[in-house]
Each structure stands twice: as structure tokens, then as C-alpha cells.
A and B are shown apart, each in its own frame.
Chain A
Amino acid sequence: MNDQVKDLINKEITENEICLFMKGTPDAPQCGFSMAVSNMLKILEVKYKGVNVLEDQSLREGIKEFSDWPTIPQLYIKKEFVGGCDIVKEMYENGELKKILEDKNINHKK
């Protein structure tokens, strides 16, 4: 991963409290797993930035190395890697995701 990609990732996760690296965009997801996480965030009514990795091959590979995680989507909350689709789904279902949002003072649907 070159410095340019690393800087870009750092910038995105710093400037956006909730940042989802995904295939496609929140309005037009290109993969079911990305859509699933995106939908959960929409239901929780949180403001998030969707970063489309399909637009940039170096970012698509770079984020995997950055997080040491082989798949996309990847969710970051306040610069912290939370997980991929399976983990986020589990946390959504058992209420942990909401708890993180509360603990980190992020606006969401109560």
C-alpha cells in the first residue's frame, strides 16, 4: 500500500465519524453485503460516508491491508475498525452497535 492510499484512508476515517468502505454507494450499492451494512446504518438514522472502493483499485486493495481484513464492506466508527458485514449484522441484532453509537455520542435513532 503506498502512502497516498494510506493518507486517503486516514483522511476519510478522520473526517467522517462513521465511514463505510463499500462496493458502490449508499444509494446504489453494488454488492449485497455492502447493501446490508448500508441499510442497517440507514435504519439507525446515522450520518455516514460511503466510500466506493470500486472507483479506485488501489483503495480496494489498500483498505484490506490497512485493516488487515480480507473482505469489503468495512465499517469504521470514530477511526476504529468495527467489522465487516457478519460482525456488524450480529452487533446490530444484539444491540451492541447501538451501544457503541451511544458510548461514542453519535446521533442516531433512539
Chain B
Amino acid sequence: MAMDLNEIEALIKEALPDAVVEIQDLAGDGNHYSATVTSSQFSGKSKIEQHKMVYNSLKGKMGNELHALAIKTKE
């Protein structure tokens, strides 16, 4: 199973409309991505909460269709 890069970006932006999202396909296999997400909505939240917001935006795909997504969040 794999997921398209644009689909990941669209889901994150749907949940965090002001987010600047940079995604890299690390292995070129549609399965291992890294995402850097910058959003004002992270302000005042812990790293765990910030990452959860990104995971939640992916609506349960993380760990299923999406095997590996390294996340970096910035305020």
C-alpha cells in the first residue's frame, strides 16, 4: 500500500488551513515520507500535541496506508 504525496499534503492542509507543508518522498517508494509542517495553530502546544494534530489530519491513514511519515512541526 502506498499514498500519494499530494494526498498527504491535501489532508494536512484541510485540517490546518494556514499550514506550510513540505513533503519529501524519502525512498521514492510512496511509502516513506518526511513532512515539515509550519502552522500558527501549533502555538502554545506541546510537541506531542502538535504531532497528534498532524496524525489526526491524516484520518487514521498513519500506520495503515501510510507506513512511515517522519514529522517535524514548527510554529
Contacts and interface: CB of A to CB of B under 8 A. Distances in A.
Q: How many B residues are at the interface, by size bracket? A: 10 to 19
B52 A87 contact: no
A69 B63 CA distance: 10
A64 B51 CA distance: 14
Contact of A86 (B52, B60, B62, B72): B72
A62 interface: no
A71 interface: yes
Contacts of A90: 47, 72
Given A70-B55, A71-B62, A71-B63, A85 B48 contact: no
Contacts of A33: 68
A64 B52 CA distance: 12
A69 B71 contact: no
B64 to A, nearest CB: 9
A64 B63 CA distance: 10
B63 A86 contact: no
Interface of B: 47-48, 51-52, 55, 60, 62-63, 68, 70-72
Interface of A: 33, 64, 68-71, 81, 83-87, 90-91
